[in-house]
Homo-oligomer: A and B are copies of this chain.
């Protein structure tokens, strides 16, 4: 049947109207501060396109995306180069979704875009906590003279939130100074996710922002990212940890650092899609 009302493109099964949605997805296709291999700008579009190779039903949760109320807003239009305009746009979009009492889920793009979302979330939730899964600490004070960078983003989040609010897992790369700094300012678990369950229990009903740098996965499972780091977690380990989010007060999320063109096999994008499906069902 010819469609006369326009070609809507959404992530698999996320086609509810904005007003009825409890969750709102949007893309933040910015990667200008990436210092190694760029390309994360293409992540959200690749996820929408390839999501249609996935089922809406999850045998892990016995739940179906068709039963969830989710709206996909498509991509923000972000200029490349200077990060400030991109961060402002991300902040505005996140603030709008939060103001409408919906949960924003941002698809990066490089990790720096998280800062825009945290600005908006911290404005609404002063007691905001961050759960941060990543191969890299992202705690530098500056990188090559720039204080806004994918390598400084969690440090910038700490500027807003202060000590005791950031929980990091899977971290296996960084400067010595980052690991030292984390000892007094954040809760950093090296390499894995073993402490995730305990951390989740400790958070009670505090507002939580979940930021998932997909390079926390082992490069064998997720090669399509700018800076792959051997020694990561498996998909199954990640999924098991994410299930603990069900008991938390999650107010916002992002998935970042899928650079789809770096992996011509497509398994990175397929895996990112599956993680997003599971995350959406966890939050629904």
Hey, which bits of chain A sit against chain B, CB under 8 A? 1-10, 18, 24, 26, 31-39, 41, 45, 48-49, 53-55, 57, 59-60, 62, 64, 71-83, 85, 89, 92-93, 96-97, 143-146, 148-149, 171-176, 179, 190-191, 218-221, 223-224, 227-231, 235-236, 239, 261-267, 270-271, 274-275
Contact = CB atoms under 8 A, between A and B. Distances in A.
Contacts of A224: 265
A175 to B, nearest CB: 6
Contact of A74 (B7, B32, B81): B7
B230 A80 contact: no
A49 B45 contact: yes
A78 B32 CA distance: 13
Which 8 residue pairs are nearest across A and B when measured between Cβ atoms? A7-B74, A223-B265, A79-B144, A9-B9, A220-B220, A219-B267, A38-B38, A33-B81
Contact of A148 (B6, B77, B81): B81
Contacts of A219: 221, 265, 267, 270-271
Contact of A81 (B62, B83, B174): B83
Given A37-B39, A54-B173, 18 more contacts: A32-B33, A32-B80, A35-B80, A37-B53, A38-B41, A57-B175, A57-B179, A59-B172, A77-B144, A79-B146, A219-B267, A219-B271, A228-B270, A230-B271, A261-B264, A262-B265, A264-B265, A265-B265
Contacts of A172: 59-60
A49 B271 CA distance: 21
A233 B201 CA distance: 30
SS class, residues of chain A in contact with chain B: loop
Contact of A146 (B81, B146, B229, B275): B81
Nearest to A18: B4
Contact of A265 (B7, B8, B176, B228): B228
Contacts of A264: 261-262, 264-265
A228 B267 contact: yes
